[in-house]
A and B are shown apart, each in its own frame.
Chain A
Amino acid sequence: MSMLVVDSIEVFYGEFQALFGVSLEVAEGETVAIIGANGAGKTTLLRTIAGVLRPRSGQVQYRGMRIDGRPAYAVTRLGIAMVPEGRKIFPSLSVRENLLIGRQSGRKGPWTLERVFDLFPVLRERADFPGIDLSGGQQQMLAIGRALMSNPDLILMDEISLGLAPVVVRELYETVQAITRTGTTVVIVEQDVTRSLQVADRVYCLLEGEVSLSGRPTDLSREQISLAYFGV
């Protein structure tokens, strides 16, 4: 059975419709990439799964439970963590405190402050600095570490490569692979197609609020992806 099922959701911002009957399934332990151009609805999809937005119709199910309509904090406590777009580090909290906020999910599990520091040693060195004083890449590590601290079963990652140097992005993606190896399910939203296809077991492409393509990266040709991505 799928861990996460998104069933033909329609999501609006006021009168503007952002998602048109989007469906998607994620199995336990899978890494799924959602790709698409700017404005295709990727972030909207993630934010709907996380409970920030409510679909006007359709359903989101997690482990057989309907979760659309639940507030975001309740979804997080069920084991779905978010690495939000733009990192969203809490500016008045230190690096350590930003990580400790992850414990608010109230979930027990393998991830502790020490383990996150082992994964990202630079965060240990800068533990007592304000979180927003870190560089972009380090802030992204902090945002991922913060999500791990909630001991999630499913992590949603929104554009973790945005605005970062290629070398930093490569490092981040190595970490993502390390996380997926622990059995954690990951849904990753990316504009960087090449990078996300390298780590993903399956991929969904969004085009103007609809799923334009889905499949295993190895089964998809460059042309198919290009057509699904750009629509031309």
Chain B
Amino acid sequence: MDWVGTIVQGLLLGGFYALYGIGLSLIFGVMRLVNLAHGDLIVCAAYLSLVLIEVSGLPPLLTLAIVIPVMFGLGVLLQRGVLNRVLGLGPMPPLLITFGISIIIQNGLLLAFTADTQRLPAGSLETASVPVGGWATVGVLPLLNMAIAILAIIGLQQFMGRTDLGRAFRATSDDPTTAELMGIDSKRIYGLAMGASLALIAVAGILLGMRTTFGPSDGPARLIYAFEAVIIGGLGSLWGTLAGGLLLGVAQSVGAALNPGWFQLAGHILALLVLAIRPTGLFARTRDL
């Protein structure tokens, strides 16, 4: 068995999970909201790209230019129109609402696109790969995704650390009541955070859609991968989430290499082990907890 290849594939797969996880963790970090529709929104972005491709004939990568702003806008609307109304009423209302949105998206997609699995036609990009050091070849798409995940983390860190708006995000995350006393409109911050989260997962949704198939009911599995990336990496640490995503990908990939049926199982076992042994995650910044 080619272990190096298996691990490299796992790492690249993990790059997608990392991007899912970063989106999830951004939302949780800023407003302590668990978005149960996260996975379905990822799938939604892929379908949006599919429609654009069919209508306009654009190549999938170019649809990003439209899907990213649309998902950002959808996030802002979702937050400001719906979720902001129930923040501060305890954890249950947002959970129920996002659970409801998840069901609506799944059934809406089923109605519009049937249960058939789809794939974004990426032409030669689908299989394009580059040799690495003469001992492995890696796909261009997952490499691109990984690069985007790393750039997203660096970008988010610079944004959070160096801009007034980024500091407002952190202050709101620390203490929304006091942040409001400083002139920060926390509802606006929450809207922007949800927009940014959906913009990030739009990228992952489309890139993964170019690489593997997707269907209307794939959302919950992606939500779980996003959760597991965050759990393994630890809350409050973006690099931790990246590492968590990569470890999850490797676990799945190694599991699948041992036995094709162990793909998901291996990932879940890793997440459960981390929860049991180090519940704060491997790279948590304890200060935030």
Q: How many A-B residue pairs have CB under 8 A?
A: 73
* Contact for B183 among A77, A84, A91, A93, CB less than 8 A: A77
Check B164–A100 contact: CB distance below 8 A.
yes
Q: Counting CB contacts under 8 A, is B173 at the interface?
A: yes
Check A93–B167 contact: CB distance below 8 A.
yes
Interface string of B168-194 (1 = CB under 8 A from A): 101101110111111111100000000
Check A76–B171 contact: CB distance below 8 A.
no
The verdict on A73 contacting B180 (CB below 8 Å), with A91-B287, A97-B167, A103-B164 known, is yes
Beta-carbon nearest neighbor of A103 in chain B: B164
Check B174–A102 contact: CB distance below 8 A.
no
Enumerate chain B residues within 8 angstroms of A100, measured Cβ to Cβ: 164, 167
CB contacts under 8 Å to B, within A51-104, are 51-52, 71-74, 76-77, 81-82, 84, 88, 90-93, 97, 100-104
Q: Counting CB contacts under 8 A, is A42 at the interface?
A: no
Measured CA separation A15–B162 after assembly (Å): 44
The verdict on A84 contacting B178 (CB below 8 Å), with A97-B167, A100-B164, A104-B168 known, is yes
Check B174–A73 contact: CB distance below 8 A.
no
Check B174–A50 contact: CB distance below 8 A.
no
Check B170–A92 contact: CB distance below 8 A.
yes
Closest-CB distance, A118 to chain B (whole angstroms)? 21
Beta-carbon nearest neighbor of A77 in chain B: B183
Closest-CB distance, A148 to chain B (whole angstroms)? 12
Check A101–B171 contact: CB distance below 8 A.
yes
Q: Counting CB contacts under 8 A, is A39 at the interface?
A: no
Beta-carbon nearest neighbor of B187 in chain A: A71
Closest-CB distance, A7 to chain B (whole angstroms)? 22
A interface residue numbers (CB < 8 A to B): 50-52, 71-74, 76-77, 81-82, 84, 88, 90-93, 97, 100-106, 130, 146, 150
B interface residue numbers (CB < 8 A to A): 164, 167-168, 170-171, 173-175, 177-186, 287-288
With A92-B170, A103-B164, A106-B183 already in contact, 8 other A-B pairs whose C-beta atoms are closer than 8 Å: A73-B180, A73-B186, A84-B178, A88-B181, A92-B173, A93-B167, A104-B179, A130-B287
- Can you list 25 A-B pairs, Cβ within 8 angstroms, ordered by A? A50-B181, A51-B180, A52-B177, A52-B180, A72-B181, A73-B181, A73-B184, A74-B185, A76-B182, A76-B183, A90-B171, A90-B179, A91-B174, A92-B174, A92-B288, A93-B171, A97-B167, A100-B164, A101-B171, A103-B164, A104-B164, A104-B171, A104-B184, A130-B287, A150-B182
